[in-house]
Chain A
Amino acid sequence: MPALIEVADLVKEFRSFRRGEGVASAFRALFVRQYTTLRAVDSISFRIPAGEMVGYIGPNGAGKSTTIKMLTGILMPTTGSVVSNGYQPFAQRAQYTRTIGAVFGQRTQLWWDIAVVESFRLLKNIYGVTDADYTARMKRFDEVLEIGRYLHQPVRKLSLGERMRCDVAAALLHHPPLLFLDEPTIGLDIVAKDRIREFLKHINRQNGTTILLTTHDLADIEELCARLMVIDKGKLLFDGPLVELKRRLWRENTVKFEVKDREQAQRLESLGLPGVTPERVSELSVRLHFPREMQATAEVIRKVLNAVEVTDIAIEEQSIDDVVKEIYTGSALTHR
């Protein structure tokens, strides 16, 4: 399948002047400015085929938003190339923006002071959506996102969750084949998050809309994205399926056993299974750690059950949060 988005050696540098402290240096800054160059995105390459839903994650300041802004044509790349929907986003912005939708969670794309429905009408005219399409799509949006109730309120009076639903609908009014979302679930409650996720799944399945989203909420990724890209300090650290990421970083399995009495706990502790490290959690519970690749979890459990009287077992999955924390703090992927 031909790639819908093709990014090669993309770089974005920002030049900003260094502000010193104190009045004297502020005065000096009036005349002589010292500049520092920051490489926010550092030669990134990837391709996304049509119909994929891709999650783009990384800590604050990693370069996620900067990448999205280059992909949407807001920022001009310093070097490197982007071809998306067959266009160069920045150079051919006028044509390109007709073929994409974009939602920036931190900031609304709607007009602040006018009723939501007026914003939609303006967008309808800007994108040249026909009356029939407009009516049909608004009906659809109302069914899935339930935005009908606050269409007549100005955007500034909506709650964050309501506003976000309107923003997502607005980004899709012209039926773009490609949708960018920059933190679409930030600050939303669980119900609102669910709504948005369901809707994204729906349009991806129904219309084959390609979706690239950044997020801090890993549940977004688990629920939506088969593919994941991890960026930190401007560099792409990982690009692949979520299971692959887990496989690579998931080094250790843990199983927690509740036992009948102290004696059993001690017996479990001193069982001495090869490669397994016991950890006494409390009086009647012991956790066993063992390397993923050496021991099958079932095998360990069977051996324990044969030797110890166990009342309860909990297999502790390492959450994707932990996996990502490991990437962020230890940059585990770079030292593999």
Chain B
Amino acid sequence: MEMRRYLSLLGQYSLQYAKVRMEHRWDFFISVFTMTLATVFGLAVVFLIFGRAREMNGWSFDELLFLYGFSLIPMALFNVISVNLYQFADQYLIQGKFDRVLLRPVHSLFQILFEQLRIEALGDAVLGLAIVGVCGPRLGVHAEPGSVAFLVVAVFCGALLYTAIFTILATVSFWWEDKVGVMPPVYNLIVFGRYPLDIYNGFLRVLLSWVIPFGFATFYPAAAVLRGEAYRVYGWLLPVVTGVFCMMALWVWERGVRSYSSTGS
């Protein structure tokens, strides 16, 4: 019952949001353009750096491309709902929009995540799927039910993991009312998760696996499909890590709401 209500609200929010976006259509086109450009540059880097070497630390160029392509998909899903997390401190806490959110009988985090959707972010997911679809078979990963099911689950876990991590970071603003917050430096870490983690030194590897586990959203599931054996255990750990981080995010969020102080008036 409650689930159905939230699903129907989700539909409503997307519909409303689509209408707003269509009103400001140039905004939309520009956003599509810049996102495409960013993706193209990212992909160009992979080609420029690894295209010449053809291999890196035992990872072939096709494998690197597969990793990169796969990493785009959960990120794209997360980017659809990430806008308000980035703006959370400024828009909701400092300008006091959070009052309105708390007055509604819908979970506050749900409202923050789904009130603004960036549908154009899905472009990256399409590109990612294409890359995986092309490189996969060349690497012996075929569209069998097993591997497809695993990758689908991995994509959703990855998107959830990003959401949880950035929710925790956004929550920090409840206590430290700074506009920018701690998100940008962490956001910049995401790119490291797009390459094989074993090319990094121990510190970065531990950081990306167990502290801010972007590796689980990108590298580990892709590697589990490509290399099996060595990475299978990480594949099994993925839902566990995701679950733990989601629970942490919800807990921290509740603590944050308790210390929300609203604005003066």
Contacts and interface: CB of A to CB of B under 8 A. Distances in A.
Interface of A: 14, 61, 65-66, 69, 72-76, 90, 93-95, 97-98, 102, 104, 106-107, 109, 111, 113-114, 118, 121-122, 125-128
B10 to A, nearest CB: 11
B20 A72 contact: no
A167 to B, nearest CB: 11
Contact of A107 (B9, B96, B102, B107): B96
B259 to A, nearest CB: 8
> Which label, helix, strand, loop or mixed, suits the secondary structure of the A interface?
mixed
A95 to B, nearest CB: 7
Contacts of A61: 264
Nearest to B259: A76
B104 A97 contact: yes
A66 B263 CA distance: 9
A67 B236 CA distance: 50
B8 A125 contact: yes
Contacts of B104: 97, 126
A75 B260 CA distance: 7
A74 B105 contact: no
Nearest to A97: B105
25 contacts: A14-B261, A61-B264, A65-B264, A65-B265, A69-B99, A72-B102, A73-B102, A74-B102, A76-B259, A76-B260, A93-B105, A94-B105, A97-B105, A102-B103, A107-B99, A113-B20, A114-B16, A114-B20, A118-B16, A121-B12, A122-B12, A125-B12, A126-B105, A126-B106, A128-B5
Interface in B1-26: 5, 8-9, 12-13, 16, 19-20, 23
A74 B16 contact: no
Contacts of B106: 126
B105 A98 contact: yes
A151 B104 CA distance: 21
A97 B9 CA distance: 17
B8 A106 contact: no
A118 B9 contact: no
A113 B115 CA distance: 12
Nearest to B99: A74
Nearest to A119: B16
Given A72-B103, A74-B262, A107-B99, A122 B16 contact: yes
A95 B5 CA distance: 14
A75 B100 CA distance: 12
A76 B258 contact: yes
A45 B256 CA distance: 27
